[in-house]
Amino acid sequence: MIYKKSPQEIDIMREAGKILAATMDRLEAEIRPGVATGDLDAIAEASITEAGAIPSFKGYRGFPASICTSVDEVIVHGIPGPLALKSGNVISIDVGVHFEGFHADSAWTFPVGDVSSEVSDLLNVTETALWAAIDQCKPGNRVGDIGHAVETAVQPHGYGVVREYVGHGVGRALHEEPQIPNYGPPGRREVLSAGMTLAIEPMVNLGGPETEALDDGWTVVTADRMVSAHFEHTVAVTPEGHEVLTRRGG
């Protein structure tokens, strides 16, 4: 079942999104060679709790940290720890904020120091795919239009679009219906309408689309161990179109 949100509930999600955006800004300022992913986790937890919210991820299905830190070939669900970042890495930081009963969810992939041009291109294309997908979030469109927009943005570059992990509804629960694949034909699946709140999140690999889950039960990597990028925003469908609830920069 898809749970539509009232304007008052979207107001709460907007506040959760502001807390999340401020946390992501703090994290970006700390990303540099030598910083441990565990230190980033501590910064995020402090930022979220100081704002009167709760990290959505910590304890969720047993996840041990407040954020996911996915470096290089890690696609999603990387666990923060002692790993120190190096120049040339990329790190995807996925943050969830639980505020007054509602969640916001966002991820961004950042370069660490100087990265290769091919990796920089991957990040740019994946972010472009995110915005193309968000543009499809308006009443009367369908979930399939979102995934088709991602695939259309990515295909000309020959990258692999991850299929096993998808976007999703978000609100009172961190993961709600509908599931939102990043591929497929347009004009299919559920019809979008005002009040739906969606986590749109393309995951795109420099190499093939295949994935592998590691033995820790969380970390997902590219099967060919090539670099992956992950960009995500929480979006509310409005009568006029959409609003990005986790937008940074004002």
**Which residues have a Cβ under 8 Å from the Cβ of 126 and sit 6 or more positions away?**
109, 154, 159, 202, 203, 204, 229, 230, 231
- Domain map of the chain by residue range? 7-244
CATH H-level superfamily of 7-244:
Creatinase/methionine aminopeptidase superfamily (3.90.230.10)
233, containing H or E segment: strand 233-237
Q: Residues 231, 200, 143, 176: is their CA dihedral positive or negative?
A: positive
Is the overall model pTM greater than 0.85, yes or no? yes
* Ramachandran category for residue 61: left, alpha or beta (phi over 0 → left; psi -120 to 50 → alpha): left
Structure tokens at 249: 């920069």
Distance of CA 183 to the CA centre of its chain: 16
185-205 in b/e form (b: 16+ CB < 10 A) is: ebeebbebebbbbbbbbbbbb
Phi, psi of 142 (to 5 degrees): -120, 160
The pLDDT of residue 13: 98
Q: How far apart are CA 3 and CA 173, in angstroms?
A: 10
pLDDT in tens, 170-187: 999 999 999 999 999 999
39 pLDDT higher than 80: yes
Mean pLDDT of the chain: 97
pLDDT in tens, 107-137: 999 999 999 999 999 999 999 999 999 999 9
In sequence order, which ranges of the chain are alpha helices (DSSP H)?
Answer: 7-30, 37-50, 117-135, 143-154
Tally of residues, the chain: 250
100 pLDDT higher than 90: yes
pLDDT in tens, 226-250: 999 999 999 999 999 999 999 998 5
Phi, psi of 205 (to 5 degrees): -105, 145
The pLDDT of residue 249: 81
